[in-house]
Amino acid sequence: MTRLLLLNGPNLNLLGTREPGIYGAQTLEGIERRAVQLASEQGFELVCFQSNAEHELIARIQQAPAQSVGVLIFNPGAFTHTSIALRDAVLAVHVPMIEVHLSNPQAREEFRRRSYFSDIAIGVISGFGALGYELAVRAACGHLAAGDPARQRARASS
Ligand code: DQA
């Protein structure tokens, strides 16, 4: 069965208490619970993983094809602006990726304006807080359904 993988990078485990004026009041646990529920309503399993360590995120990305991950939803946190290694991991596995940010990095400090992921993502969602994850799950499910002949037939006949 095709799965979705929701990956969150450094400091996102602190959501809820971390700079709530920028990142909102929702915890990562709450965001993940909602994402799992939304995906399951659309008929997909969603697996969540957060790490503060670049090598652990790379390992999860490398495992994605063997774990039947069809779309990766990724908030790389500060690694967005620094990590060629994570970019290379995404490129290596050929799993479509949606980049998510709670804040809008383009409207913040200069050093946040460069992303190593935006040009290799199928889409980028930023600036909508926790809602961005819900939008990403919907987009990911739509992307998977569009590539699934059985679902295409079901849609065409409804
Ligand atoms: C972030 C934006 C990054 O610049 C920052 O380093 C984060 C969170 C966001 O979700 O808005 O850790 O990815």
pLDDT tens-digit profile of 82-110? 999 999 999 999 999 999 999 999 999 99
Give the residue whose CA is nearest to atom 8 of ligand 1.
77
Mean pLDDT of 54-68: 98
As a whole number of angstroms, the distance between CA 112 and CA 79 comes to 10
Using the mean position of ligand 1's atoms as its centre, give its distance from the Cα of residue 18 in Å. 11
Residue nearest (by alpha carbon) to ligand 1 atom 6: 78
Read off the pLDDT band of 120 (50, 70, 90). very high
In this prediction the pTM is: 0.94
Please name the residues in contact with 132: beta carbons below 8 A apart, sequence gap of 6 or more: 100, 101, 102, 125, 126
Q: Catalytic residue, from 81, 101, 116, 133: name it.
A: 101
Percent of the chain scoring above 70 in pLDDT: 95
Looking at the CA of residue 23, tell me the nearest atom of ligand 1.
Answer: 11
pLDDT mean across residues, the chain: 95
Sign of the Cα torsion 23, 25, 27, 31 reads: negative
Mean pLDDT, to the nearest integer, of 45-56? 98
Catalytic site residue 143? no
Query: Is the C-beta atom of 34 inside 6 A of ligand 1?
Result: no
Query: Dihedral, CA atoms, 37, 74, 28, 128, nearest 10 degrees?
Result: -90
Nearest CA to ligand 1 atom 10: 101
pLDDT of residue 55 exceeding 80: yes
Best substitution site from 50, 102, 113, 118 to test ligand 1's pocket, by max atoms within 8 Å of Cβ?
102
- pLDDT tens per residue, range 121-146: 999 999 999 999 999 999 999 999 99
